[in-house]
Amino acid sequence: MIYKFIPILDTLRNYDKKNFKFDLIAALTVAVVALPQTMAYAMIAGVHPAYGLYSGIVLTIIASSFGSSNQLATGPTNAICLLIASYMIPFAGSSDFFANLFLLTFLVGAIQLTMGILRLGSLVNYVSHAVIVGFTAGAGIIIAMGQLNNLMGIKLPSGHLSSIGKVMACFESIDKLNYHAFGIGLFTIAVIIILKRINKNLPGALLSVIFSVVLVIVLDLEKYGVNVVGQIPQAIPPLSMPNFNLSAIGDLGTGAAVIAIIGLVEAVSISKAIASKTHQKIDPNQEFIGQGMANIGGSFFSSIAGSGSFTRSAITYQNGGRTKVTGILVGIIILIVLIFLAPFARYIPNASLAGVIMLVAYSMIDKRALAKVITTNRNDGIVLLVTMLTTIFAPHLEQAIYAGVAISIVLYLKDTGVAVVRNLEPVRGTDGRFVEQIGNGQDTSISILQLEGNLYFGSSADLDKKLSDSYSNSKVFLVRFKSVAIIDITALEVIESFINRALEEEKRVILSGVTPNILRMLNKMHIVDHVGKENIFMEDDEVFATSGKALDEASSFVRSVSYKTEKRSTQASY
């Protein structure tokens, strides 16, 4: 049972040592990118870069231990840090700022853990494959756009800029292009591509960054304006205590809920996007628990709230990370660097990291999946494009997921707003069984109306119109429920109106293929009393058996009516 709740134990129990080489190489590459990235994100959150590194250690290790995905890299992210900065503004300059900051981290984790325990992970099932593909492609584009200035060695104006704004600023400052930095970036990209063609198992990203560090040191490229990562704090994550004050909890509760939900959407969306390539089965509930445990644990080790990182997760996948051990190793490597190798890591050029990230961004755009979604289904194609464009142009990344889910629901409701009502006529097969074919309208004594699909309030107007159009001079209406998947009271009221109209004109109504659930609803609406229990034919295991019985009853009724009519006519002639 413990293996179910702590997935890393199950991974270690069945760990194949052959995977260690791949996990280690991926972890080294991710750590190289995570060092400057986590520090930068901490600055976005309005705190010292060291807190980003602490989060990159603690959150990564805990989330990998308790989470579901093998490749998800957890830690500070752009969107989450922007939200942290916003919600911490009221506490800026106060003596308990950091205690409240860690309280925010704790509350985020507590909400996420609670949602996981309550098994609310099924909520992410409303994020369709088209949304994931579009979100992934859009994220790849904005990641590349966001690194263009680092690749070109161009200093951006102060203040927050969107990805589009960064690209525009780069082109406006093209005359300030730093050729040395640009050369380092292109060198990094070339090394990765060449090494991959020589042997796809070679750690191209890691080797290219190491080569770049050597060039920076040997050629003293810093004096030519090549920006490097810079000073890295030499310290381990210190213990901390959140401010468990009811007033502070009340002040931060709403913000924590927003960060928690957005963090879960990011983490699970990233996990599912990568799982679509690795074919791993993701358990959203366990991922909720993993994210919750990471943030709760991080709050006691000076960490800011975090989530799944698209960039670092994609690097994990692209560089061969196979198991959850990768995340554990990433945290350990960052810790080792903090303690022993910080003086050397400071020479990593930003342009080299930009080259690594740009290739990762390009690989995130799954061109085959894009073509498949767009050409297979029109609605899915619309959802994909809306999600991708929203990812690129919306001010906040999570808005793309919301937009994709919203447009998916709208298009689904649009399609399900159509009711299917088939006019059938009975034909006896050669073996005596009841078969069916589309009616030609010639036999008007018995009308067979087959209802199909989901009949609910959204399709009730269309159902009303089609039942009205199907009304005829038939003596008997046989209504089949065999193919009805879902029905609600609004749809039943439409059907009841049709039945009442027929009964008022002294026609007979027979209901066949009625399931126990539909029968309960018919009883509660007193429809059974109106048509008579003898005119209700329950669902039968044998295909069309219930309709055959209902048809025999309808035919018997028609013959009886015809006989009575002929008899009255004969008596009148005398």
* Res. 567: pLDDT tops 70: no
In a domain, 30, yes or no: no
Mean pLDDT highest for which of 159-163, 180-184, 438-442?
A: 180-184
Other Cβ atoms less than 10 A from the Cβ of 123: the count is 16
The stretch 238-256 carries a mean pLDDT of: 93
520-551 pLDDT tens trace: 999 999 999 989 998 998 876 444 556 667 76
The stretch 355-383 carries a mean pLDDT of: 86
The stretch 147-163 carries a mean pLDDT of: 84
Among 410, 432, 466, the domain-final residue is 410
Do both 383 and 457 map to the same domain? no
* Res. 236: pLDDT tops 80: yes
410-449 pLDDT tens trace: 888 787 788 888 887 666 555 444 445 555 545 568 888 9
In a domain, 58, yes or no: yes
Report the amino acid identity of residue 180: H
Between 61 and 454, the more confident residue is 61
255-304 pLDDT tens trace: 998 889 888 888 988 898 888 888 898 899 999 999 999 999 999 999 99
CA-closest candidate to residue 394, choices 82, 26, 1 = 82
Q: Which residue segment(s) compose the domain that 292 sits in? A: 37-410
Number of domains in the chain: 2
Q: What is the pLDDT of residue 543?
A: 44
Q: What is the pLDDT of residue 223?
A: 92
DSSP state of 176: G
Do both 397 and 442 map to the same domain? no
Structure tokens given for 275: 């799982």
Q: What is the pLDDT of residue 456?
A: 87
Owner of token pair 């994931």? 132
Distance (Å, rounded) from C-alpha 297 to C-alpha 19? 28
Residues present in the chain in total = 574
Q: What is the pLDDT of residue 136?
A: 77
84-103 pLDDT tens trace: 988 898 998 888 999 999 99
SS3 per residue for 295-340: HHHHCCCCCCCCEECHHHHHHHHHCCCCCCHHHHHHHHHHHHHHHH
Other Cβ atoms less than 10 A from the Cβ of 182: the count is 18
Percent above pLDDT 70 for the chain: 90
Do both 336 and 469 map to the same domain? no
Q: What is the pLDDT of residue 68?
A: 92
The stretch 176-182 carries a mean pLDDT of: 94
The stretch 380-404 carries a mean pLDDT of: 84
Q: What average pLDDT does the structure give for the chain?
A: 85
Distance (Å, rounded) from C-alpha 29 to C-alpha 329? 11
Do both 284 and 431 map to the same domain? no
In a domain, 14, yes or no: no
Nearest-5° Cα angle at 103, 97 to 107:
145
Do both 397 and 433 map to the same domain? no
413-418 contacts, C-beta under 8 A, 24 or more apart = 413/458, 415/379, 416/453, 416/454, 416/456, 416/458, 416/459, 417/458, 417/459, 417/461, 417/462, 418/459, 418/462
Q: What is the pLDDT of residue 427?
A: 60
CATH of the domain at 531: 3.30.750.24
What count of Cα atoms within 13 Å lies in the side-chain half-sphere of residue 52?
26
Under the banding of pLDDT at 50, 70 and 90, the label for residue 200 is confident
In a domain, 45, yes or no: yes
Q: What is the pLDDT of residue 541?
A: 47
H helix or E strand, kind and range, residue 436: strand 434-438
Distance (Å, rounded) from C-alpha 14 to C-alpha 434? 56
DSSP state of 367: H
In a domain, 178, yes or no: yes
Q: What is the pLDDT of residue 569?
A: 55
Do both 327 and 431 map to the same domain? no
Do both 64 and 148 map to the same domain? yes
In a domain, 357, yes or no: yes
